[in-house]
Amino acid sequence: MAEEAKWYVVHTYSGYENAVAAAVLKAAENRRMQDLITEVNIPTETVTEHTENGEKTIERKTYPGYVFVKMILTDESWHLVRNVRGATGFVGSDGKAIPLTEQEILNMGVERHEDISGFNVGDSVKVTDGPLEGFLGVVEDVDAAKNRVRVIVSMFGRETPVDLDYYQVEAASD
């Protein structure tokens, strides 16, 4: 296939997210369409709730009522997903499914990327992109989920925290 699979958002009845995700994968397997529908994701977050009995850690859906499907959009794959019980349609305009952009995928946490930065708190780094290009700083925080680091940069004699994407910094050569 020349076309690359993209992430699409499917609207579901509330509480049917897991059933829809399982049904899409099962239908794709039954119809031998795993090459068209490659992944299904329901983004979740771990939250600590404070109750009368103490703290309780639970996992809840980040986007209730939505399932994310990575697929190559064809008439056949569109109909398969659209006709799954519990799915009400694709998010888009005029019934047309619109794929998520790379930035939306990262911001929404649809795809989890492991921390490939190699940066740790306390590391010396050099800013390689943006208005602070060429500045040296020290990593204060690493946010692997967003592929960002907070760097303390010395500007005009003051320590200033700056949030940067991984690609904007590199390890400083000693």
Taking the chain (174 residues) in consecutive chunks of 10 residues, what is each chunk's mean pLDDT?
79 92 93 90 80 81 90 91 91 83 78 63 89 90 81 88 88 76
Among residues 145, 140, 158, which one has the least CA distance to residue 114? 145
Half-sphere exposure of residue 32: CA atoms within 13 angstroms, side-chain side = 0
Read off φ and ψ for residue 134, nearest 5 degrees. Answer: 95, -20
In CATH, which of 1.10.3720.10, 3.40.50.800, 3.40.50.300, 3.30.70.940 is domain 6-108? Answer: 3.30.70.940
pLDDT of residue 2: 45
Is pTM beyond 0.85? Reply is no
**Domain 124-171 of CATH type 2.30.30.30:** yes
Spans of all domains in the chain: 6-108, 124-171
DSSP state, residue 84: S
- Which string of DSSP letters, residue by residue, matches 120-158? -TT-EEEE-SSTTTT-EEEEEEEETTTTEEEEEEEETTE
pLDDT in tens, 52-75: 888 888 888 888 999 999 999 998
